């Protein structure tokens, strides 16, 4: 059975050794230890631990907060801060590194274990989200000429020109791309698809709908009527003023 591997970053040697002993007794493996921020970043890159226990106040050129920011940004490895300081200013300063836990010294083994387990769980959930995002990027990607996208459909990449997309409709964790007389269902969020589509040609008019502006036939009783199909798409209240402003500029 593989035990979670934890990198210990603490500049007090005696405390660092005590933490290592506690981790071993609790059933975790120590992936490495250091009291230097820059070395902590290097160890995280090399060892790829499951989690990092990071002292906020390191007596090195790189602080614990700075090291945690680099580790979180570059690897996504969860970080739990260790500190003797619990005042609001320190906590607010630490937030920028997006830690998954915050342990105030002195701490018990029970507090250490509970923070580690919660951080490992949250880190696992973050990893799942990154995998979903990567899968989305593999499912839908822009073409080199920036005039089309590729959508993964039934195991193959289908090229779709932006000009052929009528509208995009949210379906829980998926979205339906309506193209002429057919549609393609792709996993992902409306926010992600909205960012992929050219802003000058497409507009989100509802939390569940993105439309192509030059395919609008009319605006009728709070709905957009699409050209050709005559499909009526509701306009969200918060999107109405922006839609009307853009329509006037076309």
Question: H-type helices in the chain, by residue range?
Answer: 13-25, 37-47, 64-75, 88-95, 109-139, 190-196, 240-249
In the numeric block, which tokens belong to residue 250? 């076309």
For the cut 60, the answer to whether the pLDDT of residue 138 exceeds it is no
pLDDT in tens, 53-87: 999 888 888 988 899 999 988 888 999 998 887 76
Among 147-156, 202-211, 225-234, top mean pLDDT goes to: 202-211
What's the pLDDT tens digit per position in 235-249?
Answer: 998 999 889 888 877
Q: Give the DSSP H/E element, type plus range, for residue 101.
A: strand 101-104
Share of the chain above pLDDT 90, in %: 42
> What residues contact 62, with CB distance under 8 A and at least 6 apart?
36, 37, 38, 40, 41
CA distance to 170, 174, 226, per residue, from 163 (Å)? 20, 21, 14
Residue 98's pLDDT band (cuts 50, 70, 90): confident
Determine how β-strand 29-34 pairs with β-strand 5-9: parallel
Report all structural domains of the chain as residue ranges with CATH numbers, in order of start: 5-136 (3.40.50.2300), 143-249 (2.40.50.1020)
pLDDT digits (tens, 9 = 90+) for 17-42: 999 999 999 999 999 999 999 999 99
């Amino acid at each position: 059975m593989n035990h979670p591997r934890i990198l210990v970053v603490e500049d007090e040697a005696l405390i660092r050794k005590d933490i290592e002993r506690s981790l071993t007794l609790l059933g975790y493996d120590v992936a490495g230890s250091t009291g230097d921020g820059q070395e902590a970043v290097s160890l995280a890159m090399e060892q790829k631990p499951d989690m990092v226990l990071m002292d906020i106040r390191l007596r090195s050129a790189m602080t614990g907060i700075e090291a945690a920011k680099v580790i979180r940004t570059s690897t996504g490895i969860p970080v739990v801060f260790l500190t003797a300081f619990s005042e609001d200013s320190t906590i607010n300063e630490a937030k920028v590194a997006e830690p998954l836990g915050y342990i105030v010294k002195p701490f018990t083994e029970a507090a250490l274990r509970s923070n580690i387990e919660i951080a490992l769980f949250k880190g696992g959930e973050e990893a799942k989200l990154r995998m979903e995002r990567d899968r989305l990027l593999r499912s839908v990607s822009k073409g080199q000429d920036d005039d089309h996208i590729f959508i993964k459909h039934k195991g193959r990449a289908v090229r779709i020109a932006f000009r052929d997309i009528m509208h995009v409709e949210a379906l829980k964790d998926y979205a339906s791309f309506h193209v002429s007389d057919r549609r393609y269902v792709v996993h992902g969020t409306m926010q992600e698809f909205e960012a992929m589509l050219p802003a000058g040609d497409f507009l989100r008019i509802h939390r569940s709908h993105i439309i192509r502006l030059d395919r609008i036939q009319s605006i009728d009783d709070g709905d957009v009527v699409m050209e050709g199909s005559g499909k009526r798409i509701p306009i969200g209240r918060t999107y109405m003023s922006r839609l009307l402003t853009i329509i006037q500029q076309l």
